[in-house]
Amino acid sequence: MQKLKNKPTNKIKVKKNNMFEFLREELTEAKYMRTPRDTVGRSEDNIAQGFFEHLLVLQQMRFENPSWAKKYAKDTLRFMNFSNVKTGATDLHNMAAILNNPSKFSDKLGGMGDVYFDELSFKRYLRNIVNNKYVPGQDRAYFLKAQKNLGIKNSLLKQARRIMGDYGASSPTERSSVSMRLANSFRQDSKYRSDLFKPYASTVKNKKLVPVEKKGMGLAAKTAIGMVGGFGIGYAIGRKLG
């Protein structure tokens, strides 16, 4: 068992004339799956894929920005269970609640999939993050099991799972490629609204895990270039892991 050390972080500066700015920085609330209405037109498989993608990003943040990951995991556990979508919860909490209680949202979901959500394993994973407890073998087993239970077929997420499941032993090339591909994936399907995307994008940029964006380049252009580059690197990693 290994202990992840929290790196020192800069204290948040509070403007004397705007205390509400401090509150906005401190609270983590859902922006992608904020209410049950956000599930309309989505299939259960789509929700499962979004949940798995958020889970992988949280795993990476556990290493690249441990203090933020610890807070996000704690916020996700705030309501103790995953019984319903709540406006004050994290996006990861709300997607977990949908997968844990699909019958509650069957009138809104565009289709039901063959998905099983393991609530106990998910809670244990989050508690490990909160307690700075890192067990590589346990993580690898959890992510592989989650991939199968959630019916994940997306090749990007499968490749990312192999890297994130043992992120501590991954190479700089693997970390860079998976960061670029996940960042670009979050720019699709409105996932860029997620409470997790902005901190993640900022972290991988500061850690120089993604190429520096050229000034004046639009979102569509950046996404297209990232997808092409990510495909090339992902193909190489896929051959290595295959």
Cα 18 versus chain centre, distance: 30
The whole-number pLDDT of residue 35 equals 66
The whole-number pLDDT of residue 188 equals 79
The whole-number pLDDT of residue 106 equals 77
**DSSP character for 210?**
S
| Regions of the chain short of the pLDDT cut 70 | 1-30, 32-41, 110-112, 190, 213-242
Output the pTM of the full model: 0.75
The whole-number pLDDT of residue 1 equals 59
Q: How far is CA 115 from CA 36, 79, 99, in A?
A: 19, 23, 8
- What is the C-alpha to C-alpha distance for residues 57 and 168, in angstroms, rounded to an integer? 14
Give the number of other Cβ atoms within 10 Å of residue 193's Cβ. Answer: 16
The whole-number pLDDT of residue 160 equals 96
| Amino acid type, 67 | S
- Rg of the Cα trace of the chain? 18
- What is the C-alpha to C-alpha distance for residues 124 and 143, in angstroms, rounded to an integer? 12
Domain assignments of the chain as residue spans, ordered by start? 28-241
The whole-number pLDDT of residue 42 equals 77
Tokens of 72: 């996000």
Residue of 138, 131, 101 whose CA lies nearest to 119: 101
Cβ 177 vs Cβ 233: under 8 Å = yes
- What is the C-alpha to C-alpha distance for residues 162 and 143, in angstroms, rounded to an integer? 9
DSSP string, 8-24: P-PPPPPPTT-HHHHHH
Identify the residue whose tokens are 């994936």. Answer: 185
The whole-number pLDDT of residue 150 equals 96
Half-sphere CA count of 143, side-chain side, radius 13 A: 26
The whole-number pLDDT of residue 105 equals 82
| Amino acid type, 96 | A
The whole-number pLDDT of residue 92 equals 95
The beta-carbon contacts of 200-205 under 8 Å, at least 24 apart in sequence, are: 200/57, 200/60, 200/61, 203/61, 203/64, 203/65, 203/68, 204/60, 204/64, 204/179
Q: How many residues does the chain have?
A: 242
Cα 143 versus chain centre, distance: 13
Residue of 130, 156, 139, 134 whose CA lies nearest to 231: 156
